[in-house]
A and B are shown apart, each in its own frame.
Chain A
Amino acid sequence: MMDAPRDYYELRLYRCVPGRLPDLHHRMGYELPHLFERHGVSRPLAYWDGHAGALGPLYCYMLKWHSLDERFRTFGGFYGDPEWLAQRDASNCGEPMIDRFDLMLLRPSPHWEALKTPGEPQPVGGIHELRLQQLSTRDAAEAGRVLAEVDLPYLRDRGATLLGLFMVWYGWKTPQAVILQAWPDLETREAALWEMETDPALQAVRKAERDRHGGPLLGIADTHLMRPAPYGVARHNLAPQP
């Protein structure tokens, strides 16, 4: 029997009620941390809000777990805490801040390790991008390899910093890769993506994939541009907040 996996990342995507993002920042950044601590929810790795994408107005944060049984016990305790319920009602001011939400549990991609940024982790500024990339079931392992060995290094060489590379484990379509990367600015990203789209060498790679597998290995993707929240800016390789 295999060992149970040890690393899970939880991606929480909240679709806000329009106009309530500032209130939600206050709740997440300043009201919740001590309650999370009380129940053993470790400090989120990063928080963001969204500029662009299908789920807006988007608020997003990421947690790390070592056991899912522990995760459900921990959140069970938190949600039952009368102080959380009182605080929620008080800051809601009669209307919820969140309209709906999408929760996903992710596992690190086996290719992430090789792409990590060396050195002491620092907060990463700029524009962050969340990319939900569908992979073909024709050969999902090969699709994951191509993404990590062709596409992501190509973007890195043109200004992207990879923050995290995951596979969806529960809660969303699989096989699907979840990519978090940072760009210094929008122009850099736009130029890199256009170059990728028009590069004859890459077009030849894509054609060879289609010919060999009977269709594309990398499917369509949803992308979200996000702004790191000042109280929890993502660090290199999504290292824990100090």
Chain B
Amino acid sequence: MMFEYRFYECTPGRLAQEVARMREVSIDPWPGADGGRDGESLFDRFGIPRPLGAWTSVAGRRQPMFGYLLHWESLDERDRAFPAFWVSPEWAEVRERTNDGHPMVDSIEDWLLAPSAAWDRSGGFGEERHGGLHEMRIHHCRAGYDADVADYLAEIEHRQMEVLGGRVLGVFNVVIGPDMPAIVSFIAWPDFATQRRAAERLDVEPRVHARRRRWQEQYGVSLIRSVEQTLLAPLDYGLPRSNFGIAP
């Protein structure tokens, strides 16, 4: 089971068009207004799964940013499906038409993620979709201690966030990407005020401080090198299910 997180650095001024283009190829019935076969999207036809979530970033590095998360059973299958799509006449037509003379994207970064031990999916998932404001948290860990950080997230940080109004949608280890080891968590908040209150509460949470002190005593350093936070606006066509719809 592998997850692919793709994020696009958009050319300033082109974000809305990029979002619309992604909807056209991944969700909308192909070939468009006059009615596709059985509601099949272009992605469906090429065997590319629909995104588990799709977002634009509200705050964080490299804006304007658009990103989405895919789930694959096999990367060999993924590497058949995506390249076939990229060289298809359908995609060439969409890209040419929507680019309108200039590319919309300056670069794409593509990370491979695997489910973390900190991801508790025992609650399962239903039909519910999570809107609101999402947060992507990247915990950069000291090499060799990412399992300790995963324990901390599961036992303290994520539990506290849920008490404070957040929902943990998914927790992943980066398996191919920059600045590893890193653990990526996606949290859904009802709104910004709740996210901010929770962040302030976590700053003074005694259990967080106790764990940090324990690491300091045991290892002499903090096991978390840095935490990168990106606030994300979920797109209406990519609202995630609980646990990203992945079975326990």
Give the interface of A toward B (CB within 8 A).
1-5, 67-69, 72, 88, 92, 96, 98-105, 134, 137-138, 169-176, 214
A-B contact count (CB 8 A): 90
CB pair B176–A105 under 8 Å, yes or no, is yes
Q: Give chain B residues whose Cβ lies under 8 Å from the Cβ of A172.
A: 109, 177-178
CB pair B102–A138 under 8 Å, yes or no, is yes
Q: Give chain A residues whose Cβ lies under 8 Å from the Cβ of B114.
A: 72
Q: Which of B127-184 contact A (CB under 8 A)?
A: 140, 142-145, 175-181
- List 5 A-B pairs, minimum CB-CB distance, nearest first: A68-B75, A171-B176, A137-B103, A96-B144, A98-B143
Q: Give chain A residues whose Cβ lies under 8 Å from the Cβ of B207.
A: none
Segment at the interface with A among B34-42, B77-85, B193-201, B236-244: B77-85
CB pair A2–B84 under 8 Å, yes or no, is yes
CB pair A103–B180 under 8 Å, yes or no, is yes
Give CA–CA (A38, B2) in the complex, Å: 25
Give CA–CA (A216, B160) in the complex, Å: 49
Whether B112 is near chain A, meaning CB under 8 Å from some CB there, is: yes
Q: Give chain A residues whose Cβ lies under 8 Å from the Cβ of B74.
A: 69
Chain B interface SS verdict (over half): mixed
Q: Give chain A residues whose Cβ lies under 8 Å from the Cβ of B4.
A: 170
CB pair A72–B80 under 8 Å, yes or no, is no
Q: Give chain B residues whose Cβ lies under 8 Å from the Cβ of A134.
A: 107
Give CA–CA (A88, B144) in the complex, Å: 9
Give CA–CA (A221, B165) in the complex, Å: 44
Contact of B76 among A67, A173, A176 (CB under 8 A): A67
Knowing A1-B84, A4-B76 touch, does A103 contact B105 (C-beta < 8 A)?
no
CB pair A102–B177 under 8 Å, yes or no, is yes
Q: How far is the CB of A86 from chain B (nearest CB, A)?
A: 14
Q: Which of B105-131 contact A (CB under 8 A)?
A: 105-112, 114
Q: Give chain B residues whose Cβ lies under 8 Å from the Cβ of A137.
A: 103, 105-107
Whether B61 is near chain A, meaning CB under 8 Å from some CB there, is: no
Q: How far is the CB of A68 from chain B (nearest CB, A)?
A: 4
Contact of A101 among B107, B143, B145 (CB under 8 A): B143
- The chain A residue sitting closest to B143, CB to CB, is A98
Give CA–CA (A210, B12) in the complex, Å: 20
Determine which residue in A1, A5, A170, A175 has the highest number of CB atoms from chain B within 10 A of its CB, and name it: A170
Knowing A4-B79, A105-B176 touch, does A171 contact B143 (C-beta < 8 A)?
no
13 contacts between A and B (CB under 8 A): A1-B81, A4-B76, A72-B114, A96-B144, A96-B145, A101-B143, A101-B181, A102-B180, A105-B176, A171-B110, A171-B177, A171-B178, A175-B107
Whether B209 is near chain A, meaning CB under 8 Å from some CB there, is: no
Q: Give chain A residues whose Cβ lies under 8 Å from the Cβ of B144.
A: 88, 92, 96, 98
Instruction: Give me 11 other A-B pairs in contact (C-beta within 8 A), A2-B83, A101-B143, A172-B177 excluded.
Output: A4-B77, A100-B225, A102-B177, A102-B179, A102-B180, A137-B103, A137-B105, A137-B106, A138-B103, A170-B111, A174-B108
